């Protein structure tokens, strides 16, 4: 039986926990043909929300994951080709022509557009999920094609764009007046971490589905350590179901796996975000806890202007957030653990709750 602790992104709205409002809003936007950019930290559930909304909306869809294929045209072409029968489009129109396009040549771009136009001229709606769009290379081509789809296929084709590295998606979110997307508004929706009560509710519900139980103290501790990041909580739930007698083991496997994932992602982000060494210096200073802007100026030796620029990017990357007291904190506890290892700081021993 499918449960909340299944690792792949959820696509069944029944398994989408505590996102009722977001789901309702997103489906509403799809009905109104509005283009939505879903933003949020890694593992928060952007893909799950998008897939569940598409399922609830009930029309055809294709998914292009920029992490799997960073060439937008090639990815669109091969996905349309492989889904041609499901989408009721002619495979010959898509497969042979689009893949050998050289994006550099105007002539090819023209053919690409013509092909796209013939494929996308549909009677029924098509939702195109552009997942983790910041990894599409050649953002200018990407943006130009989006503008073309906006202008010529608005009635039938509606993209949902997701991204966690918002800083590099500025050309989509905030196009300047020279951008092809200028004047074509998109709706930004933020997917946030769960509050502790939702995280504990998620663990309780998932355990119940798996006919397991866990002391309340352990649930609270798990949420204190993994915070309200659905991906880490799902991973813990999965490992605990594999080994229900050993809570500590499930938690330590989860932490080790999660730190590996964050380490790999940070390596990728460091290539994408300019000024990474300065970002890293800020993050290093936040390992021990929250800091005000003034405290960070002192600790990092950066002037006000450059610190505020770097903090802005770190917030756009969902690495850092500002709390209610205007103090900066690292958003993901796993990122903090990774940074501790990275900078060789001793990881503090956690206090076990009473057994
Ligand atoms: N609301 C939810 N209910 C149940 N499970 C969820 C929910 N949101 C996310 N998950 C689970 O958390 C994990 C991460 O979800 P998902 O891949 O949708 O997040 P994401 O924000 O797209 O992550 P990434 O940054 O890796 O692309 C998956 O295992 C998914 O099944
Ligand atoms: Mg995703």
> What confidence tier does 352 reach under pLDDT thresholds 50, 70, 90?
very low
Q: How far is CA 289 from the centre of its chain?
A: 25
User: What pLDDT, on a 0 to 100 scale, did the predictor assign at position 104?
Assistant: 45
Q: How far is CA 55 from the centre of its chain?
A: 18
Q: Is-contact 62 215, C-beta < 8 A?
A: no
Ligand 1 atom 7, closest CA = 45
Ligand 1 atom 15, closest CA = 45
21 lines ligand 1 (CB under 6 A): no
48 lines ligand 1 (CB under 6 A): yes
Q: Which CATH architecture has domain 196-342?
A: Orthogonal Bundle (1.10)
Tokens of 200: 């504990």
Percent of residues, the chain, with pLDDT higher than 70: 87
Q: Which ligand is nearest to the CA of 203?
A: 1
Q: Which residues contact 66 (CB under 8 A, 6 or more apart)?
A: 72, 75, 130, 131, 132, 133, 134, 135, 136
Q: Is-contact 333 227, C-beta < 8 A?
A: yes
Choose which residue among 3, 6, 10 to substitute to test ligand 1 binding: the one with the highest number of ligand atoms within 8 A of its C-beta.
10
The C-alpha atoms of residue 186 and residue 300 are separated, in whole angstroms, by: 36
User: What pLDDT, on a 0 to 100 scale, did the predictor assign at position 110?
Assistant: 64
7 lines ligand 1 (CB under 6 A): yes
CATH number belonging to domain 19-190: 3.40.50.300
Ligand 1 atom 9, closest CA = 45
Taking alpha carbons only, the member of 63, 80, 72 closest to residue 141 is: 72
Looking at residue 129, the DSSP 8-state letter turns out to be: E
- Ligand 1 atom closest to residue 16's alpha carbon, by position in its atom list: 3
pLDDT at 354 over 80: no
Give the chain's mean pLDDT: 87
Q: pLDDT by residue (tens digit) across 21-61?
A: 999 999 999 999 999 999 999 999 999 999 999 999 999 99
Q: pLDDT by residue (tens digit) across 77-97?
A: 778 778 777 777 665 554 334
17 lines ligand 1 (CB under 6 A): yes
State which residues have CB under 5 angstroms from ligand 2, the bound ion: 46-47
pLDDT at 103 over 70: no
Q: Which ligand is nearest to the CA of 232?
A: 1
Choose which residue among 15, 22, 47 to substitute to test ligand 1 binding: the one with the highest number of ligand atoms within 8 A of its C-beta.
47
> What confidence tier does 345 reach under pLDDT thresholds 50, 70, 90?
low
- Ligand 1 atom closest to residue 164's alpha carbon, by position in its atom list: 25
Tokens 């309780």, located at residue: 204
42 lines ligand 1 (CB under 6 A): yes
- Ligand 1 atom closest to residue 40's alpha carbon, by position in its atom list: 21
User: What pLDDT, on a 0 to 100 scale, did the predictor assign at position 168?
Assistant: 54
The C-alpha atoms of residue 331 and residue 234 are separated, in whole angstroms, by: 18
C-alpha separations of 304 from 300, 310, 326, 330 in Å = 11, 10, 16, 20
Q: pLDDT by residue (tens digit) across 190-216?
A: 999 999 999 999 999 999 999 999 999
User: What pLDDT, on a 0 to 100 scale, did the predictor assign at position 97?
Assistant: 43
Tokens of 201: 């509710």
Residue 318: how many other CB atoms lie within 10 Å: 24
pTM: 0.89
- Give the residue extent of every domain in the chain: 19-190, 196-342
User: What pLDDT, on a 0 to 100 scale, did the predictor assign at position 279?
Assistant: 92
The C-alpha atoms of residue 323 and residue 328 are separated, in whole angstroms, by: 6
Q: Which ligand is nearest to the CA of 10?
A: 1
Q: pLDDT by residue (tens digit) across 124-181?
A: 889 999 998 888 887 777 888 888 889 888 988 999 999 877 655 777 777 888 888 8
């Amino acid at each position: 039986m499918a449960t909340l602790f299944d690792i792949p992104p959820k696509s069944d709205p029944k398994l989408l926990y505590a996102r009722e409002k977001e789901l309702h809003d997103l489906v509403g936007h799809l009905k109104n043909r509005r283009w939505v950019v879903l933003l949020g930290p890694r593992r928060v559930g952007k893909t799950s929300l998008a897939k569940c909304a598409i399922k609830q909306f009930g029309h055809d869809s294709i998914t292009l994951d920029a992490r799997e294929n960073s060439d937008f045209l090639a990815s669109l072409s091969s996905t349309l080709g492989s889904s041609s029968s499901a989408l009721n489009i002619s495979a010959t129109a898509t497969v042979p022509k689009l893949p050998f396009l050289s994006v550099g040549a105007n002539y090819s771009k023209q053919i690409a557009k013509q092909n796209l136009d013939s494929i996308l001229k549909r009677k029924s709606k098509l939702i195109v999920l552009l997942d983790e769009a910041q990894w599409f290379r050649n953002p200018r081509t990407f943006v130009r094609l989006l503008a073309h789809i906006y202008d010529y296929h608005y009635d039938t084709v509606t993209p949902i764009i997701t991204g966690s590295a918002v800083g590099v998606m500025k050309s989509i979110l905030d196009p300047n007046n020279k951008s092809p997307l200028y004047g074509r508004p998109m709706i930004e929706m933020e997917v946030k971490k769960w509050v502790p009560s939702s995280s504990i509710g998620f663990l309780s519900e998932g355990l119940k589905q798996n006919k397991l139980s866990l002391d309340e103290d352990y649930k609270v501790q798990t949420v204190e350590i993994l915070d309200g990041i659905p991906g880490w909580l799902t991973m813990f739930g999965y490992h605990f179901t594999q080994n229900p007698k050993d809570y500590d083991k499930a938690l330590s496997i989860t932490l080790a796996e999660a730190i590996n994932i964050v380490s790999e992602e940070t390596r990728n982000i460091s290539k994408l975000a300019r000024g990474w060494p300065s970002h890293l210096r800020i993050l290093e200073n936040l390992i021990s806890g929250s800091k005000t802007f003034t405290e960070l100026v002192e600790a990092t030796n950066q002037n006000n202007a450059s610190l505020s620029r770097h903090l802005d990017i770190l917030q756009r990357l969902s690495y850092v957030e500002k709390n209610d007291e205007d103090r900066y904190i690292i958003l993901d506890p796993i990122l903090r653990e990774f940074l501790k290892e990275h900078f060789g700081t001793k990881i503090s021993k956690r206090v076990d709750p009473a057994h």
